[in-house]
């Protein structure tokens, strides 16, 4: 069993390593970017990544306190699904109109997980990074293309 302090320290080490690995890669717009703390420029949309002792996860999250507006944003994303799949090269992402996050907020999410990895095991860092990197770059490319259509 890991303490909160152990978990925090290990997550910091992982994300620091991932950030150094991603640092030389430019955004789809050719700019330097903080990949770990990706800013969409729209307070309703977030690109989130998470790792724990069971899986790694990457997601495009839609949050709005008004459920009707959140749903409209999600529906607009669904209309762009072909472009999303073109950018990611994958069709097996989960599209969830209503998902409650760890803080109890209801969000809409497009997500993909890699099960069976544990960020506490350094030997899993390679597979986790190999999972997150191309998907984060693909989400950036997708977002670069559609961000103004969703404003």
Q: What is the pLDDT of residue 117?
A: 98
Half-sphere exposure (Cβ direction) of 137: Cα atoms closer than 13 Å? 14
Q: What is the pLDDT of residue 110?
A: 98
Residue 118 has pLDDT above 90, yes or no: yes
What's the token pair of residue 22? 């991603």
> What band does 3 get if pLDDT is binned at 50, 70 and 90?
confident
> What band does 98 get if pLDDT is binned at 50, 70 and 90?
very high
Share of the chain above pLDDT 90, in %: 91
Q: What is the pLDDT of residue 136?
A: 98
Query: Whole-prediction pTM value?
Result: 0.94
pLDDT in tens, 37-71: 999 999 999 999 999 999 999 999 999 999 999 99
Neighbours of 18 (CB within 10 A): 21
Whats the size of the chain, residue-wise? 151
Sketch the domain layout of the chain as residue ranges. 4-146
What's the token pair of residue 74? 């999600």
Mean pLDDT, to the nearest integer, of 96-121? 95
Average pLDDT, the chain: 95
Residue 2 has pLDDT above 80, yes or no: no
Share of the chain above pLDDT 70, in %: 99
Distance CA 55, CA 51 (A): 6
Crossing angle of the two packed helices 67-79 and 81-88, in degrees rounded to 10: 60
**Mapped to the 3 state alphabet, what secondary structure does the chain carry?**
CCCHHHHHHHHHHHHHHHHHHHCCCCCCCCCCCCCCCCCCCCCCEEEEEEECCCEEEEEEEECCCCHHHHHHHHHHHHHCHHHHHHHHCCCCCEEEEEEECCCCCEEEEEEEEEECCCCCCHHHHHHHHHHHHHHHHHHHHHHHHHCCCCC
């Amino acid at each position: 069993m890991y303490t909160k302090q152990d978990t925090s320290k290990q997550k910091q080490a992982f994300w620091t390593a991932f950030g150094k690995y991603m640092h030389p890669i430019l955004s789809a717009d050719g700019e330097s970017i903080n990949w770990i703390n990706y800013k969409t420029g729209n307070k309703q949309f977030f690109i989130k990544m998470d790792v724990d002792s069971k899986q790694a996860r990457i997601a495009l999250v839609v949050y709005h306190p008004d459920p009707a507006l959140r749903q409209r944003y999600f529906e607009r994303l669904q209309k762009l699904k072909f472009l999303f799949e073109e950018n990611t090269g994958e069709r097996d992402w989960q599209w969830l109109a209503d998902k409650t996050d760890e803080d109890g907020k209801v969000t809409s999410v497009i997500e993909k997980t890699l099960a069976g990895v544990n960020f506490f095991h350094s030997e899993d860092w390679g597979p986790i990074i190999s999972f997150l990197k191309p998907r984060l770059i693909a989400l950036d490319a997708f977002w670069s293309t559609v961000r103004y259509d969703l404003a």
